Amino acid sequence: MPKLSVWLVKASLVHMAIGFLFGAQILHHKGIPIYPWTWRLLNPHIEIMIFGWTMQFVMGIAFWILPRFSGEGRYGRTALGWWSFGLLNIGILFNALAGWFTLDTLALAGRLCTLIAVAMFVILVWPRVKPLGGFAASQSR
């Protein structure tokens, strides 16, 4: 597993841990109330579970599993992947905080970070969606 995938998948597991904690607190609160502020965790819970856990996990596995190029740079333009990883997590953090504090500007900034992160990831993996070997493999950088 390449280093970028390790970071993406481990970060997704951290998000999963937090997302499950928030979700469990909300569900517990539905049955037996704990803290009055519990419902404010709902939007951060959704953001963390969808983008932090599932989407980031899929990105990590895709970067690992998709066909590689031959020779140097077999995973493609990896620098794009690291930028994508950083921006994605900043975006999720912004959106989770925006959900908690109800800040529209921060939510917009977070979503823009997520959008740029996803665009970078698409550019990174697009050429790797190809048949194994053959002409495409010979086009590696």
Partner 1 sequence: MPTLSRWFIKIGLLYFAVGLMMGAAVLAQPVMGWSPNLHLLRPVYLHFLFIGWVTQLIMGVGYWMFPKQSKEKPRGSEWLGWTVLVLLNVGLVLRAIGEPMMVLAPQASVRWIVAMASMCLLLAGWGFIINTWGRIKER
- Rounded Cα–Cα distance for residues 68 and 55 (Å): 21
Question: Would you count residue 30 as binding partner 1 (CB under 8 A)?
Answer: yes
Return the residues of window 40-69 that contact partner 1 according to CB under 8 A. Answer: 49, 53-54, 57
Q: Shortest gap between Cβ of 103 and partner 1 (angstroms)?
A: 25
Contact call for residues 107 and 99 (beta carbons, < 8 A): yes
Question: Would you count residue 31 as binding partner 1 (CB under 8 A)?
Answer: yes
Question: Would you count residue 140 as binding partner 1 (CB under 8 A)?
Answer: no
Residue 57 or 94 with smaller CB distance to partner 1: 57
- Rounded Cα–Cα distance for residues 124 and 35 (Å): 44
Question: Would you count residue 82 as binding partner 1 (CB under 8 A)?
Answer: no
End-to-end CA separation in angstroms for the chain: 20
